[in-house]
Amino acid sequence: MKSNIVIFWILTAYMVLLASVYTVWNLIEHGYVEWAGSTTILLSGGLTAFIAVYLMLVQKKQGGVLTEDLLDSDIDDGDPELGEFSPWSWWPLFLAFAISLVILGMCIGFNFWFSFLTVPLVLVGVVGWVYEYYRGNFAR
């Protein structure tokens, strides 16, 4: 975590320095400030500062050092149980396909009928994924 904080502070300093160099370079080359680029680069530095401050607050809230920061830790020390996932489940693929059809209907001239006809597929995908453990061989 500490190394990530340092990296984001370095990125923030780099972006601020780059914004000033870009602004001065435009003043020398063209005689005016190019506001779009200067503002974009400076605000990118602000965004990296947001991430650095957030990581600092998270580290302060945890109150300790993470296992990733310890030099003598193993890979298994920082490997928590993330949950139960179904490697055999086809419902995520079906749901992604159904959502892509709905979005495709919106993108192609906003064909309302195509999106309207594919929304039930999204509902079937959501219901199927939620209730896959309540029926069939894997019912509990």
Residue % of the chain over a pLDDT of 70? 95
CB 54 within 8 A of CB 27: no
Q: What's the mean pLDDT when you consider all of the chain?
A: 88
Instruction: Dump pLDDT digits (tens) for 13-58.
Output: 999 999 999 999 999 999 999 999 999 999 999 999 999 999 999 8
pLDDT recorded at residue 138 = 66
Claim: this prediction has a pTM higher than 0.85: no
Pairwise CA distance, residues 91 & 95, whole Å: 6
Q: Does the structure show a pLDDT above 90 at 62?
A: no
Pairwise CA distance, residues 69 & 33, whole Å: 43
pLDDT recorded at residue 10 = 97
Q: Does the structure show a pLDDT above 70 at 61?
A: yes
pLDDT recorded at residue 82 = 73
pLDDT recorded at residue 72 = 86
Q: Does the structure show a pLDDT above 90 at 127?
A: yes
